Amino acid sequence: MTNKLTVLSGIRPTGYLHLGNYFGAVRSFVKMQHDYNCFFFIADIHSLTTHPTPENLQAGVKQVLAEYLACGIDPEKATIFIQSDVPEVSELYAFLNMNAYLGELERTTSFKDKARQQPDNVNAGLLTYPVLMAADILIHKANFVPVGKDQEQNLEMARKFAQRFNYMYKTELFPLPKPYTFDGKDMIKVPGLDGSGKMGKSEGNAINLYEDPKDIRKKVMRAVTDSGPTEPNQPKSEPVENLFTLLKIVSTPDTVAHFDALYNNCEIRYGDLKKQLAEDIIAYTSPIRERIIENLKDEAYLGRVAKLGAEKARESAARTLQEVKEVIGFKRLF
């Protein structure tokens, strides 16, 4: 063990990584693996709340693993693992459930949202989702959890459960996990292609890293714009600003300056801008996409990575679980 601080983050295997995930998080994970003791895992148990078929579950897990690796997460540096490979997590989850209260779980925003979205499947796993997430975090005694805004409340609950456990058993076993916010320059909010808001899996406005160049062109050409500037140096509308933001992320400063000047002279043709944007996105994502394809083909490699990750994660998890059991009183006296 090193004396580095521990960072942990998880992702549910329910879709492809998109540019928003990449620039908002995964690219920073790649940097963090040098400075922190990092755990990045695939939350396959969490994904059971929506009842995937076994085939979809397996394909989803494989995809995320291939994508994490393609983005540059190094299995020798960080611990990349699959949640269900570490049964200690489920054990801690059972213990933590005894100190999680119905009222507070029912009040969680993500529970209320999910209950509204899937009224025919309001299962207990949805209710205790934050408890399982707390178990994920606490079992490795994570100090920092890089999460987006939508997960802040879950992280707050993890802190609350940790604090409650520590207080109840008069221990300092669990450090209180803090949200990790990337400093301004690292954290890029990637807008979607639908004119407003950020890129998101469920918003249907995303470009995936795995996306075929043909589809990237199609999606970008369909992006929302406006009817064009009518006077020089006019402020940009949100949809157009968003396209420029994307251009700044993937294109050279010269390209951005070129289209900016055209816009400011009212000579811009959005079609040209979109064509350039699509090609620059393709140039950026193509090497990643190729690595994803290679990884997906190399099941032996993916298997080795998962096995190595599971071993490292289980070792860390078993250590914490042992301490937890002693504190709780699961100590044989006979």
Positions marked catalytic: 114, 198, 201
**Strand blocks (E) in 146-240:** 178-179
Q: Smallest distance from the beta carbon of 261 to ligand TRP, in angstroms?
A: 40
Closer by beta carbon to ligand TRP, 144 or else 263 = 144
| Residue whose C-beta lies closest to ligand TRP | 10
Q: Binding string to ligand TRP for residues 207 to 246, with x set by CB under 6 A, is what?
A: ----------------------------------------
Q: Smallest distance from the beta carbon of 193 to ligand TRP, in angstroms?
A: 22
**How far is the C-alpha of 168 from the C-alpha of 150, rounded, in Å?**
29
Which run of H or of E encompasses 10? strand 6-11
Q: Which of residues 143-202 bind ligand TRP (CB under 6 A)?
A: 145, 147, 151, 154
Handedness of CA 302, 307, 308, 314 (dihedral sign): positive
**How far is the C-alpha of 33 from the C-alpha of 95, rounded, in Å?**
30
Number of residues assigned to the chain: 334
Q: Binding string to ligand TRP for residues 57 to 96, with x set by CB under 6 A, is what?
A: ----------------------------------------
Q: Which of residues 115-154 bind ligand TRP (CB under 6 A)?
A: 133, 136-137, 145, 147, 151, 154
Q: How many CB atoms lie within 10 A of CB 181?
A: 11
Closer by beta carbon to ligand TRP, 12 or else 141 = 12
Q: Which of residues 9-28 bind ligand TRP (CB under 6 A)?
A: 9-12
Alpha carbon separation from 215 to 95, 174, 190, 221, 281 (Å, rounded): 47, 46, 19, 10, 11
Phi, psi of 149 (to 5 degrees): -50, -40
Q: Give the binding site for ligand TRP (CB under 6 A).
A: 8-12, 43, 46, 133, 136-137, 145, 147, 151, 154
